[in-house]
Amino acid sequence: MPDAHVICGEGGTFLHLGWTNVSTLTPIECFPLAALAVARGTPLIDIRPITDVIAFANLPQVRRDGSVNPEHSGAGRSVSLTTYIDMVEELGASITNDPRPCRST
């Protein structure tokens, strides 16, 4: 699962496993499956600190298969997990188990 990750936001916690998503309206502390995934090293993107919801809503999706497509434009665009993390971090998200080289929080 090259782009598996967990997102925690005001709307709850989402565990993204490639083609499958599992979600709950509770924070990660109350979602044992997501908490276990993070404890085992799955990246956690905490979007709760983001205040610019319009910019966040306009971010592309994470590619499901982990492949990289150099064209990053148009509706339904998608990027690699590391590119997505770069973008969401600029908006104020905090990252745990950062998969980018030379970074870990």
Is residue 52 included in any domain, yes or no?
yes
The pTM assigned to this predicted structure is 0.84
* Residue span of the structural domain in which 26 resides: 5-96
Work out the percent of the chain whose per-residue pLDDT is above 70. Answer: 86
Where does the pLDDT of residue 101 fall: very low under 50, low under 70, confident under 90, or very high at 90 and above? confident
Is residue 104 included in any domain, yes or no?
no
- Dist CA 15 CA 101 (whole Å): 22
Is residue 34 included in any domain, yes or no?
yes
Is residue 101 included in any domain, yes or no?
no
Average pLDDT score, the chain: 87
As for how many domains the chain has, the answer is 1
Where does the pLDDT of residue 18 fall: very low under 50, low under 70, confident under 90, or very high at 90 and above? confident
Is residue 88 included in any domain, yes or no?
yes
45-94 confidence digits (pLDDT tens):
999 999 999 999 999 988 876 565 555 555 568 899 999 999 999 999 99
Tell me, what's the pLDDT at 70?
55
Q: Chain centroid to CA 95: how far?
A: 9
Is residue 103 included in any domain, yes or no?
no
Q: Which residues pair with 44 in a beta bridge?
A: 6, 96
Is residue 39 included in any domain, yes or no?
yes
Is residue 105 included in any domain, yes or no?
no
